[in-house]
């Protein structure tokens, strides 16, 4: 059984709403349910419980990729997991894939792509804003994924450097301007995928895809509704993640 060492990161879990990702030191950590002496965690196995100074109990869990992703520093709106998962699946992205991405933003989608192309694939991410790149590099470093990413401070609408890539994934305002470059960069059978907040963007990108002989063009959106599950009173949660954006997927024949 894996035990916690000083310097390890742990997830202190009280509820779905209250959970904290912290580094174990010989210091104290304040929560909404009291103070935790982090030094008490050293040598304990993951899955242990720990009491605060007021007697509230936290479960000490081993962090996952999703725990880190949820806590990325955000300088832009990030892609929701429901959309990121669809991008990976419909883009046939997996170990060894070579993926071109733009724009990088806070690096959340880039991290998901890098996570799935490991250990032999690569993500080539284009971003024009230096301040976004600096934040994304820190976020990617924290999840140990920077080795699988090549970041380019370049406007992708002026061209794509890579050739024979497996997918081109776009989260940007003018994806239709990238379509001719994507067609040139993609291998036969490769996928073009873009995330667009408005339907006007979708219309322009689909028009461009048709003009450049892409096939199997599909646009869809995903709605996520979670449930409050309690015996005798299970029902949908009052709040839900509804429209986040449209995904357009197309294939180079």
Q: What are the pLDDT digits (tens) for 34-93?
A: 999 999 999 999 999 999 999 999 999 999 999 999 989 888 778 999 999 999 999 999
Q: What are the pLDDT digits (tens) for 91-112?
A: 999 999 999 999 999 999 999 9
CATH superfamily assigned to domain 68-251:
Vaccinia Virus protein VP39 (3.40.50.150)
Tell me what percent of the residues of the chain surpass a pLDDT of 90.
91
Q: Which positions ≥6 away from 15 have C-beta within 8 Å?
A: none
**Cβ neighbours of 142 (radius 10 Å):** 17
Is residue 213 within 8 A of residue 186, CB to CB? The reply is no
Return d(Cα 111, Cα 115) in angstroms, integer: 6
Residue 191 main-chain phi, psi, to 5 deg = -115, 140
Question: What pLDDT, on a 0 to 100 scale, did the predictor assign at position 240?
Answer: 86
pTM of the model: 0.91
**Do the domains spanning 9-63 and 68-251 agree at the CATH topology level?**
no
Whole-number Cα distances in Å, 124 to 100, 187, 203, 252? 5, 15, 26, 19
Question: What pLDDT, on a 0 to 100 scale, did the predictor assign at position 74?
Answer: 86
Q: Which residue has the tokens 């419909």?
A: 90
CATH class of 9-63: alpha beta
Sequence spans of domains, the chain: 9-63, 68-251
């Amino acid at each position: 059984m894996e035990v916690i060492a000083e310097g390890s990161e742990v997830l202190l879990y009280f509820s779905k709403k209250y959970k904290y990702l912290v580094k174990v030191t010989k210091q104290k950590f304040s929560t909404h349910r009291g103070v935790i002496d982090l030094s008490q965690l050293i040598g304990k196995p993951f899955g242990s419980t720990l009491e605060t100074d007021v007697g509230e109990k936290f479960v000490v869990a081993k962090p996952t990729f999703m725990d880190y992703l949820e806590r990325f520093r955000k300088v832009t709106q990030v892609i929701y997991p429901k959309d990121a998962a669809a991008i990976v699946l419909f883009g046939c992205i997996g170990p060894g894939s070579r993926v071109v991405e733009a724009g990088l933003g806070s690096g959340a989608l880039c991290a998901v792509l890098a996570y799935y192309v490991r250990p032999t694939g690569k993500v080539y991410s284009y971003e024009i804003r230096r301040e976004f790149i600096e934040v994304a590099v820190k976020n990617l470093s924290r999840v140990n994924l920077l080795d699988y990413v090549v970041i380019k401070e370049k406007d992708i609408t002026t061209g794509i450097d890579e050739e024979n890539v497996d997918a081109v994934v776009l989260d940007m305002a003018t994806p239709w301007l990238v379509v001719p470059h994507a067609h040139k960069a993609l291998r036969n059978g490769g996928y073009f995928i873009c995330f667009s907040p408005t339907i006007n963007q979708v219309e322009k990108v689909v028009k461009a895809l048709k003009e450049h002989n892409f096939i199997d063009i599909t646009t869809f959106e995903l709605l996520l509704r979670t449930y409050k599950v309690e015996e005798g009173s299970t029902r949908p949660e009052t709040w839900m993640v509804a429209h986040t954006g449209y995904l357009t997927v197309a294939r180079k024949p």
